[in-house]
Amino acid sequence: MAAANPAQSLRDEASCSICLDYFTDPVMTDCGHNFCRSCITQHWEERDTNFPCPQCRAMSQQRNLRPNRQLANVTEMVKKLSQIPVRPKEANLSEEAVQECKKKLKMYLEHLRKGLENHLKFKSTEEKKAEELKSETERKRQIVESEFDELHQFLNKEKQILLSRLEEEKKKILQRITENVTQLEEQSSCLMQLISKMEKSQQPTIELRKDVNDALSRWQKMKCPVLKAVSTDLKLDFQLSYPKQLKKWITKFGGFDWWMEFGKYTVNVTLDPETAGPNLVLCEDRKSVRNGNRRQKVPGTPHRFDAYPFVLGREGFTSGRHYWEVEVGDVSYCTLGVCKDSVRRKGWITLSPGEGFWTVRLWKEQRWLALTSPETELPLSDFPRAVGILLDYEAGKVSFYDADNKSHFFSFTDTFTGKFRPFFMTYSEFPLRIRQVPAWN
């Protein structure tokens, strides 16, 4: 009996656990077990989902059956071996063949299990990627809806403003026309009376001349002004160039943060030397800053950043919208944005909204980041030569733009309290310069 056990084990490995016969057209399930195709198909016949393995009860969501051609070949070999009568003197040889076949079968099954494991890992990875794609798509969909809602609100506001101006201009013109008509009616009545008197007069020539002279004198004394025709041209102080601008901005798909009115919100920002880190060198007009790469002897005021090359704008904002531009030029590493006036100035400082900083970092040789928590990589194809910054205090929004091509690349949204100030950081010997905002034509 002991000698027959290996052969029986080999037959068991080549047999279906459902029909208990040799495999016919063997297939493999997701869990790695093998069955005859007809047996497993019949076993799952009444199920539409949740297909259990008859051997280990593991569930599959789909009928994933993969043909196992190698097992089919091994089964055929076992069938042939079982049909050959084993003579006593050949028993040992048959046993060796069975052991060898079993060894190869075990190796192959191990190979199949590893293949299945890799397939399941790949499947899990793909499913995770699909979920991440859905999440990212939903996030961007919300951004698109938010941007266009804001644009719709702005356009509706502008529409009401323009319609109101049209109505006011119409009223002014109609009032001038009405005044002219009233004066013309009065003058016409006066003239008609004079004409009537002159036509009815039958006086002698001398008296007639006297009456005419009197009438002309009265007419001259009326001093009726010469009325000018009222122009009906509606001369409103605006230009309807929105369609052209809209096409330009929609093509770039940036933020629509009051982009037609940036000129109204431009502020004159200057640097505050009392906040500048010891390594920073400010120009006399307080419009540019560079890193001198060595600590200078400066007064140790409570307002000064003592460990980093930071400097703030002198101006502080507690309401409204404010826009300024910074010329980056050849600076390869800098950070720009806004911060609360109350941020810490001494020792270790983390630039994040939680610490009171809303900033972006531009590092030409590395990455361009918005310093959120965690950091957000910026969608910039080229290093900007100038950066526009728009602070909308009531909306709780700080937006950043490539100031040369007027394209939006990032916005922070938060709840703002207290005073905010422009923020600058540079590790470069080349200057950062606060530039005059050019007209956005």
The predicted pLDDT at position 220 comes to: 62
User: Tens digits of per-residue pLDDT, 226-235?
Assistant: 555 656 555 5
The predicted pLDDT at position 85 comes to: 58
Work out the average pLDDT over 208-218: 64
**Contact criterion met (CB below 8 Å) for 74 and 14:** yes
- Length of the chain (residues): 441
The predicted pLDDT at position 200 comes to: 66
Whole-number Å distance between alpha carbons of 25 and 265 = 77
- Residue ranges, comma separated, of all CATH 2.60.120.920 domains in the chain are 254-435
- Residue ranges, comma separated, of all CATH 3.30.40.10 domains in the chain are 5-136
Whole-number Å distance between alpha carbons of 225 and 432 = 63
Closest CA to 256 of 414, 143, 376: 143
310 pLDDT higher than 60:
yes
Q: Which two tokens stand for residue 102?
A: 């079993």
253 pLDDT higher than 70:
no
Work out the average pLDDT over 38-62: 84
For Cα atoms 356, 358, 360, give the angle at the middle one, nearest 5 degrees: 140
Banded model confidence at residue 221, pLDDT cuts 50, 70, 90: low
Work out the average pLDDT over 106-133: 88
Three-state SS for 283?
Answer: coil
Burial class (CB in 10 A: 0-12, 13-18, 19+), 18: middle
CATH assignment of 254-435, given 3.30.70.260, 1.20.1250.20, 3.40.50.150, 2.60.120.920? 2.60.120.920
Whole-number percent of the chain with pLDDT over 90: 31
Q: Which two tokens stand for residue 208?
A: 């007639």
User: Tens digits of per-residue pLDDT, 272-301?
Assistant: 999 999 999 999 999 999 999 888 888 888
Q: Which two tokens stand for residue 136?
A: 């990212």
For Cα atoms 213, 219, 220, give the angle at the middle one, nearest 5 degrees: 90
The predicted pLDDT at position 344 comes to: 93
The predicted pLDDT at position 434 comes to: 97
Superfamily of domain 5-136 in CATH is: Zinc/RING finger domain, C3HC4 (zinc finger) (3.30.40.10)
User: Tens digits of per-residue pLDDT, 359-394?
Assistant: 999 987 767 899 998 999 887 778 889 999 999 999
For the chain, give the mean pLDDT. 82
**Contact criterion met (CB below 8 Å) for 145 and 256:** no
265 pLDDT higher than 60:
yes
The predicted pLDDT at position 323 comes to: 95
Work out the average pLDDT over 137-158: 83
What's the one-letter identity of residue 270? T
